Chain A
Amino acid sequence: MNTPEGLKYASTDEWLRVEGNVATLGVSDYAQDQLSDVVFFEVTVAVGDEIQKGTIVGTIESVKAAADVTLPVSGKVIEINEELANSPELINSDPFGAAWMIKVELKDASEADSLMDATAYSAFCETRGH
């Protein structure tokens, strides 16, 4: 299971890449592996929306299940990966790269500090099996 260093991870299996006061959101390799083949992806928020921590910002459907994507921090949506809805299989093939979902301007940068680092998240995944 790939769990890159330098990212923050949520217990709901999203990753955040924090650069200054901007955070990029996606879902982890563990999440895509559990979901198996993704067939649909949709962002349910719009650029400019002020999002509260814990809000659902997207939906993923795979051949096995449907899953919500939750934003684990509060912030304002500044960019959406429009391409991902057309090629949702990128969530399987490149979860930490081309399959980024949205970028948000953080309201409170310290919120990201409470998320897990790569080591803690790997250990967390281990407890849940593969």
Chain B
Amino acid sequence: MTEPTLYELSSPGRSGVRFPKSDVPKYELPADLVRADLPFPELAEIDVVRHFTHLSAMNYSIDKGFYPLGSCTMKYNPKINEVTARLPGFAFTHPLQPLETIQGNLFLMYQLQEYLKEISGFAAISLQPAAGAQGEFTGVKIINAYHKSRGDLKRTRVLIPDSAHGTNPATCSMVGLEVVHLPSDARGNVDLVALHEICDDTVAGLMLTNPNTLGLFDENVSEVIEIVHAAGGLVYGDGANLNALLGIARPGDLGFDVMHFNLHKTFSTPHGGGGPGSGPVAVTSQLADFLPSPVVGIVEPGTEDLPPLYGFTTPTMSIGRVKTFYGQFGMLVRAYTYIRMNGSDGLRRISEFAVLNANYLLSKVRGKYTLPYNRTCMHEFVVEGVWPEVPDIHALDIAKRLMDYDFHPPTNYFPLIVHEALMIEPTETENKQTLDAFADALLKIAEEAHTDPELLKNAPHNTPVSRLDEVKAAKELVLCCWLPENE
């Protein structure tokens, strides 16, 4: 560690503030309420500012470099999003204000609902869910509520492909449904034979990510949806990979019944470091009445002279609230800004370039890294980070070594169906020079793995801290520099 902790920097008596002389009588606390063992660090303001500035400079972020974290869509977040989100009319409103005083906010939410419906091909939407996994939870609650409303109580199973994000099975468990794993076929698509065998009248639905986590468009998507529908189930679309489809294909048109968006992936709102995320959920007209409340609607139509009055409505069979107030409003402003800045042609170009960038990168490393499914990829691709002639080198070693070349590592060991997976998603915001530099690093590392494997085993070498002890980090959950003496 090149930066000492605040406790190490501390010096007795040093202080960042000077208190004025007390002008009230001194009052002694009872002795049993006073503790002697609270060692706050003592520093001046400049010490604190420098400490945190040093730490922030050690951080890696999308503003600092390439961040090809597969499945996470770590695209650049345009700064204009931050400008609009800070406009006083958005930044200083309170969710309990009278509706008449927040019509601009409601107009923005209404318009964003319309845009997302248009982009996805769905009939209705709620902006409420706080992030992707909560969007999934909301969507599967809706599927469950739909079956129950029809008296169809047998449907307790949800089918989930083996390539799915871990949040999909977790979502089903949270809703109280049973998870049934679906195998993938040799091309990385859902195995239709297995699907046929599993589908019956106990299936509540299927959760499908398309493109899937292998970065492949499921060529069987229409058949998959038909089979599930024929068995009376509904199909949930995990919108994690929507960045590959904007303006090209609409999940609603493909036959999906519900989907969530990740505004923090596809629509450039901040991601990582707490985001916060935002996971709106869109549904077909037959499910619109089940959406979480409230949704933004026109409560009084406009006239020639007056705009309409926007307000909140509660769907008739709503599953209820999933979050306080109205979702992550600041993120809604950023996503709205992004959509308006790009327009419909710009959105399509985003997906075209995201797919082009991924295929360009793939073409540069093909042959040096094993491809488990040798197909044209969508917005991301997965390679195996292992070579039979150097069995001691693993995907993790490659990921760590990439840090020495100043790149954020790709996602590793996911999806689980790929041996030693490295999952690479460049996004559309990277230029050719960056992609070339990253490809060169991957090729160099492939060479190093064969000529100097220790270089990889001990990586990273150029970072503030070297390889972390992940076992210790998972097992010894003590972050405090000190603990009270009696514990």
What residues of chain A have their CB less than 8 Å away from a CB belonging to chain B?
Answer: 37, 39-40, 61, 63-66, 89, 128-130
Interface contact B471-A130, CB-CB below 8 Å: no
Q: Which residues of B contact A61 (CB under 8 A)?
A: 474
Please report which residues of chain B, range 395-436, place their CB below 8 angstroms from some CB of chain A when the two chains form the complex: 396, 413, 416, 419
The 8 Å CB contact of B419, one of A39, A63, A89, A129, is A129
A130 to B391, CA, bound (A): 8
A66 to B167, CA, bound (A): 12
A21 to B192, CA, bound (A): 39
Q: Which residues of A contact B391 (CB under 8 A)?
A: 130
Interface contact B471-A37, CB-CB below 8 Å: yes
Interface contact A63-B416, CB-CB below 8 Å: no
Interface contact A65-B416, CB-CB below 8 Å: yes
Interface contact B419-A37, CB-CB below 8 Å: no
Taken residue by residue from 416 to 459, chain B's Cβ proximity to chain A (1 for < 8 Å, 0 otherwise) reads as 10010000000000000000000000000000000000000000
A61 to B470, CA, bound (A): 12
What residues of chain B have their CB less than 8 Å away from a CB belonging to chain A?
Answer: 166, 386, 391, 396, 413, 416, 419, 470-471, 474-475
A4: shortest Cβ distance to chain B, in Å? 22
Interface contact A39-B413, CB-CB below 8 Å: no
4 pairs of A and B residues whose beta carbons are closest in the complex: A39-B474, A63-B470, A64-B413, A37-B471
B366: shortest Cβ distance to chain A, in Å? 19
Beyond A37-B471, A39-B474, 8 extra complex contacts between A and B, CB < 8 Å: A37-B470, A39-B471, A61-B474, A63-B471, A65-B413, A66-B166, A89-B471, A129-B419
**Which A-chain residue is minimally distant from B470 (CB atoms)?**
A63
Q: Which residues of A contact B474 (CB under 8 A)?
A: 39-40, 61, 63
Q: Which residues of A contact B475 (CB under 8 A)?
A: 39
A-B contact pairs, 20 of them (CB 8 A): A37-B470, A37-B471, A39-B471, A39-B474, A39-B475, A40-B474, A61-B474, A63-B470, A63-B471, A63-B474, A64-B396, A64-B413, A65-B413, A65-B416, A66-B166, A89-B471, A128-B419, A129-B386, A129-B419, A130-B391
Q: Which residues of B contact A39 (CB under 8 A)?
A: 471, 474-475
Q: Which residues of A contact B386 (CB under 8 A)?
A: 129
A121 to B396, CA, bound (A): 27
A37 to B468, CA, bound (A): 13
A128 to B413, CA, bound (A): 15
Q: Which residues of B contact A65 (CB under 8 A)?
A: 413, 416
B297: shortest Cβ distance to chain A, in Å? 42
**Which B-chain residue is minimally distant from A61 (CB atoms)?**
B474
Q: Which residues of B contact A64 (CB under 8 A)?
A: 396, 413
A128 to B471, CA, bound (A): 26
A9 to B394, CA, bound (A): 26
Q: Which residues of A contact B419 (CB under 8 A)?
A: 128-129
**Which B-chain residue is minimally distant from A39 (CB atoms)?**
B474
B449: shortest Cβ distance to chain A, in Å? 15
Among B416, B419, B471, which residue has the most Cβ atoms of chain A within 10 A?
A: B471
A37 to B475, CA, bound (A): 11
Q: Which residues of A contact B413 (CB under 8 A)?
A: 64-65
A73 to B142, CA, bound (A): 36
Among A37, A63, A66, A130, which residue has the most Cβ atoms of chain B within 10 A?
A: A63
**Which B-chain residue is minimally distant from A37 (CB atoms)?**
B471
A129 to B413, CA, bound (A): 15
**Which B-chain residue is minimally distant from A40 (CB atoms)?**
B474
B123: shortest Cβ distance to chain A, in Å? 37
A87: shortest Cβ distance to chain B, in Å? 11
A89 to B471, CA, bound (A): 10
Q: Which residues of A contact B471 (CB under 8 A)?
A: 37, 39, 63, 89
A39 to B477, CA, bound (A): 12
B346: shortest Cβ distance to chain A, in Å? 38
A89 to B475, CA, bound (A): 11
A39 to B475, CA, bound (A): 6
A30: shortest Cβ distance to chain B, in Å? 12
A113: shortest Cβ distance to chain B, in Å? 24
A37 to B474, CA, bound (A): 10
A130 to B416, CA, bound (A): 14
**Which A-chain residue is minimally distant from B181 (CB atoms)?**
A68
**Which A-chain residue is minimally distant from B370 (CB atoms)?**
A129
Q: Which residues of A contact B166 (CB under 8 A)?
A: 66
A64 to B471, CA, bound (A): 10
**Which A-chain residue is minimally distant from B475 (CB atoms)?**
A39
Q: Which residues of B contact A130 (CB under 8 A)?
A: 391
A81 to B440, CA, bound (A): 50
**Which A-chain residue is minimally distant from B473 (CB atoms)?**
A63
A66 to B413, CA, bound (A): 11
A128 to B417, CA, bound (A): 10
B30: shortest Cβ distance to chain A, in Å? 42
Q: Which residues of B contact A63 (CB under 8 A)?
A: 470-471, 474
Q: Which residues of B contact A37 (CB under 8 A)?
A: 470-471
**Which A-chain residue is minimally distant from B166 (CB atoms)?**
A66
A19 to B100, CA, bound (A): 76
**Which B-chain residue is minimally distant from A129 (CB atoms)?**
B419
Q: Which residues of B contact A89 (CB under 8 A)?
A: 471
A123: shortest Cβ distance to chain B, in Å? 17
B268: shortest Cβ distance to chain A, in Å? 30
